[in-house]
Structure 1
Amino acid sequence: MLNQPLSKSVLWIMTISTGLIVANNYYNQPLLGLMAKDFNVQESMVSKIAVLTQMGYAFGLLFIIPLGDMVLRKRLILVDLVLVIVALLGMAKAPTLNWLFVMSFLVGFTSVIPQIFVPMAAELSSPETRAKNIGLVMSGLLFGVLLSRVVSGFIGDVFGWRDMYYLAAGVMVCIWVLVYFTIPEVKPNFKGSYRELMKSVFTLARTQPVLQLAAFRGAMGFAAMSAVFTTLVFHLEEPPFYAGSSVAGSFGVIGAVGALAAAFVGKLTFRFTTYKLILYALLILLSSWVFIYFGGYSYIGLIIGIILVDLGLQASHILNQTDYFALNIGANNRLNTVYMFCYFVGGSIGTLSAAYSWEHYGWTGVCAVGAGFSLMAILAHVLFSKRIRTTAN
């Protein structure tokens, strides 16, 4: 049966699968130091692995996710999962750094299924439960992002970074079986060619101001978060910490505290306006950099800062998606494509900027980059949000 109502069991399967699949994009961050030693290259060189994965994810969002409005989604998910497994095995077997670069891009390009699950949750939910259900699936996504660092840091220290990717490929095989037997099919809502589909994506990007602003806020927020997590492993290797990949990865557990708190933001939409909630979330994101900078050479300062980064980003992310899904124009996958493409382009820019700042200005430069991106998100929200609402009305 097509377009079945969303049951609690299916919602939880989508949430867990989302976390496990998106984790593929972030296993590399605590492992960069180990990869640099394995291939005998500088840290700035292996940082390209994180950038290429994020860029691959952005282009996967652009070219794969719109198909969710055009073809049967369950079939699309199952085919894509096979490609994910191939890419992960390619990472595990990479004989050279250049091969690793290519496979990193492909891992990101194929691991986009979470952004099919999010519109599915929105479509199959009632208006009353939409924000809560999106929040749950998105909490699974952010938990996957954060806990992936814990798992990969530990596996990397104990077994080596290649074993992490063999394990990830095995997990994806299990997800394939789970999706095949449990996830309902959703009927496509676009009739036309792939070229026409992609043209409609760019039309939405050009004509929907609510989407444009949400995409910019999301891009700047994720740029800020990427800045700290890309360079955290290098910062912790230096004095006074002298820590390895497992310690860097453990900050994923710490960040999960913020992610868990943000999962409840949907319940606040009945008490506060979306404008105020997004503003509060972005202010939390900006305030995190006070702790990351001034307390950046103590564990307590970093812990508080990481919790606030994840709380602010995840809360604003859920609210951004709730905002443009509420447009209700029958193009949820394409709306999500525009938003998430910009989101991960922002992450790539944040990673590149942080890697450059780390090489030339150290931790101070990284903090300046993160705070700058956070501030740009706030300024855009304050300057344009109310104007867009006024024009729309």
Structure 2
Amino acid sequence: MILPVFTTIRKNKILSVQFEVPLIRVRDASSIVGSLVTMTIKHLNDFKVLWREQLRTSADEDHYWDWEQKQRIYLAGGIGIYEGYTIECEQMTQGMMILQVRGYRSQVDPTRPLVYVHSLATAPWNRLSNPDPNGFRAVGIAMLRFARFRSEKLDYGGLVGLHSLPTAETFYRKMGMIDGGSDAQKENLTYKELTAKFPQVQIMEIDEDRRRSAPSQFQAHNIVELFLVFGARKEKLDLQEKIADEFTKQDFIESIANSSFTNIFYESIDYLAKFDLAINRFRNENLEGNFKNGIDLFTSHPACIGFITAIGLTVLGRPGSNHSLEKQNDKWEQVKSDANQMLDRLGTLSDVSLGDFLDFQTLNELIRTKSGRGINFEREFFLQAFKVLIEEKFQVENMTVCWRSL
């Protein structure tokens, strides 16, 4: 979540900004608020005094980057093509980024302009290659989110492109960027691009009966049912077959466009996909039960139902007692902010720690011992679980408290 504190713009050129961004302290995994601001001499001095020597003696691929030189070449002219930003926390520069906001086009759709990330780096003490207990995680995530935010404000549709250093490719892939292949004109670096506004979501057509093979894939008829339970705020719904048959993917998306209600729903689906992607790397075939790997959680349609219905109840209000539009928007912004912090935390966990957090062993045991309670049991089970997660502001030590909520 990026929260603006102030922005000064003159002739469509940003002169100064300050945004609050969520970071995670390595030492105790606590959440802390940093500031994303326009690059100044103070930040360049931090690079010279605090960054440079550590980078020069490291094996990191950007060890030769000179941010003072970058500032002179790209930012000093002041002609509005490039913009420089940094993240500050505890009076130190935690990350630096230069954006090209004019003159670059999408490689996926060359008719559309995008924001190009010319350079992006986190401070040496914030890197996985040199872990420091006093460092911070999610700095790169916050800067890339701001690049997308800047693209949206320029009416570029959130499109962002960059050329990735080899060791950063996995990070950008986790952020949902597609791989455009190596670029001979850019020292054979791999081109990456954020395309659609919700790049994580892949909707499978009505006539595709195959089981999903990757996270963030959802059957179109299941999406239709998720839309209905979201609006009804009930996990149990008699869905007539003809309703699903009448909706194709495109018809469905077009029918819900231009509405605050449906925009919140579709963003909810996007967060479902983000969590699906975040836990996908967990694997444990030795577990007994239906939930062995990360992808199994939201392969379960009742789990998807529970997740989406819990958001609907929280944001829209209980059936028959709707929140005002203002309150709905406020609650949704809070849910997204809390969810983003949890997503950032999941990205810092090792595979073993991720497994401990998910606690699929407890989930399997509870589903197995209580499954005789009826056909709708699993829907009710997951609804209660995700209601607890939201009520706890996504700040649970692990999912055990959620699985045991019913």
Greater RCO, 1 or 2 (C-alpha within 8 Å, sep 6+): 1
Bigger Rg, which one: 2
Higher helix share: 1
Instruction: Identify, as 1 or 2, the structure richer in strand.
Output: 2
TM-score by length of 2: 0.28
TM-score (norm 1): 0.28
